[in-house]
Structure 1
Amino acid sequence: MAEKKLSKHPYIHENCNIMSSELGKFTEIGLYNYFENVKFGNYSYSGEFCFFQNVEIGKFSSIAAMVRIGPTDHPMNRPSLHHFTYRRKMYGFDVEDDEEFFSWRKEQISYIGNDTWIGHGAIIMPGVKIGNGAIVGSGAVVTKDIEPYTIVVGVPARPIRKRFDEETIQKLEEIRWWDWSHDIIKERFNDFLLDINSFVNKYYRK
């Protein structure tokens, strides 16, 4: 088996369906992924069987298998939830579908921050914002915004702790290492193996 090597061109595995989406450099899309209206930041990757709709994903996001982001809503205020009310043409009820409803669903954008980790089988609901550096535990269902560098677990997802103290988090947010160029990250690679305090002290500028 040939060694896998990422490049400026996205690495897309077999049996993926990618529509109306933008894929960044050094990205990897797992087997049997479905992307619709997705922005996928540089260096991010997804595992197998992921399903993303209407989401902006930052750089260096690590997304495990079977993650669902942005499951679309049904019209809960109508007499029926069923999609015959908006996919009307399929049933012969109208010559046009309910494009206003489809537009509304498309506008419910989820945001996944930079350097995030989304665990196996997690679900992130439409319109939710996940902060930089956050971790979403396996199987969690995220219904509310998550602050940067926070670890959440459970159904519904709840915070259990921050990865670092508030001062360190604030400094990381200002350093924004994920915006460094590929060459700079390569040059400073060994610094990413340092403890967090050494890294922050080296690169934080008041």
Structure 2
Amino acid sequence: MTFINYDGPKKKLSAAPSVHESAVLHNCYVGEWTAIGARSRLNEVVFGDYSYCVDEVQINYAEIGKFCSIASHVCINPGNHPMWRVTQHHATYRRASYGFAEQDDADFFDWRRSHKVTIGHDVWIGHGATIMPGVSIGTGAVIGSGAVVTKDVDPYTIVAGVPAKLIRERFSREAADRLIEIAWWDWPRETLQALQLRSCK
């Protein structure tokens, strides 16, 4: 029996965003040195420089910082339904599709937009995690695979589980505060290139 390892083509990134041909982006800003994986769907998203998402990621109404790593099958800000209405069905807000009105319910979609997700810089979100509407994730945080994040996550902490709970802090509070203070993610590319983003020891 022969085993073959195939990682796919190693695409060299550039300042121009790399968006897979099967990905769908609607009203998004995508920064430099970024990559959007196959069959991903982004709706009204700001996607920071050097960040990437792998295949089949869904992101709605969100701001993603720089240098974020988003694994496959992550869902950020899944759509909420109107639980206060007699029915929660699409027909109450996607009215035009059902012939109930000429236009959809703009107020409902504004309500969804008002619960955007905010993700800091250098955040790692593991495979299959879900980030619920209105959540803020601090810089340097790690979200475990399969986690369901229902509350804000502090910078440089690791959370996991359903619902997600604190596992531990990545660094001492002093070290985390210092990293936030130097804000290396905002350094010019020339500086990052010169340092080659070596790990701090």
Q: Say which of 144, 148, 160 aligns to 1:141.
A: 148
Name the counterpart of 1:34.
41
Structure-2 separation of matches of 1:151 and 1:49: 23
TM-superposed CA distance for 1:21, in Å, is: 0.1
The alignment status of 1:84 with 2:91, answered yes or no, reads yes
DSSP-derived class of the 2:108 partner: helix
**Deviation digits for residues 78-130 of structure 1 (CA, Å, limit 9, x no counterpart):** 11111111111222222222111111112211011100100000000111000
* Count of aligned positions: 194
**Deviation digits for residues 122-171 of structure 1 (CA, Å, limit 9, x no counterpart):** 00011100000000000000000000000000000000100001110111
Q: Percent identity?
A: 49
TM-superposed CA distance for 1:2, in Å, is: 5.7
DSSP-derived class of the 1:193 partner: coil
AA paired with 1:170? D
DSSP-derived class of the 2:55 partner: coil
Q: Say which of 33, 43, 55 aligns to 1:48.
A: 55
AA paired with 1:116? V
Name the counterpart of 1:107.
114
Structure number having the greater helix percentage: 1
AA paired with 1:124? I
Structure 1 residues not aligned, in runs of 5+: 196-206
TM superposition score normalised by structure 1: 0.91
AA paired with 1:113? G
Name the counterpart of 2:163.
156
**Deviation digits for residues 20-70 of structure 1 (CA, Å, limit 9, x no counterpart):** 000000000011110100000000000100000000000000000000001
Name the counterpart of 2:4.
none
Q: Say which of 68, 71, 76 aligns to 1:64.
A: 71
AA paired with 2:51? S
TM-superposed CA distance for 1:13, in Å, is: 1.4
Q: Say which of 179, 187, 191 aligns to 1:184.
A: 191
Q: Say which of 135, 139, 153 aligns to 1:132.
A: 139
Structure-1 separation of matches of 2:55 and 2:40: 6
Name the counterpart of 1:201.
none
TM-superposed CA distance for 1:3, in Å, is: 4.0
AA paired with 2:91? F
TM superposition score normalised by structure 2: 0.93
Q: CA RMSD in A?
A: 1.2
